[in-house]
Amino acid sequence: MIIPLQNYAEYPRLVFVHDVHERDIAPHGYRGDVVVEFATGEIFPVYFYEPDAVREELASNVKWGFARFLAEPGLIIIPEISVANMKSSVSALIETGYFTHLRPGCVKVGT
């Protein structure tokens, strides 16, 4: 699924690596198969988490003796995972220059 951030422009856009339906947008409060794609062809993997999913993931890491932290480049925590929340958060991050601090992916994903 490809979703432009703005109705009037094809780019930037969210590209879901796996097919997804709106009703299945946030299995377990987490979405890790999304990239932000720019018109230049640069892509940036992003990871959307709801706050409860972050707590559960961290607790699980600690319980099973893994890292006592949770870190992902491109980690975005939003109150509830929805297309609208993903679009608005990524749009705001673009405006603040967030993606200039990340290393882009190496291949263009969308068509």
Please write the tens of the pLDDT for every residue from 69-91: 888 889 999 999 999 999 999 99
| Dist. CA 20–CA 30, nearest whole Å | 13
Residue 7 counted as domain residue: yes
Give the pLDDT confidence score for residue 46 in this predicted structure: 95
Instruction: Give exposure, 37-56, as e/b (b: 16+ Cβ within 10 Å).
Output: beeeebbbbbbbbbeebeee
The type of residue at 6 is: Q
pTM attached to this predicted model: 0.83
Q: Contact at 8 Å (CB) between 9 and 91?
A: no
Query: Could you tell me the residue range of the domain that residue 62 belongs to?
Result: 2-101
Output DSSP code: residue 32: E
Count structural domains, the chain.
1
Residue 109 counted as domain residue: no
Considering the chain, what percentage of its residues have pLDDT values greater than 70? 86
Give the pLDDT confidence score for residue 25 in this predicted structure: 67
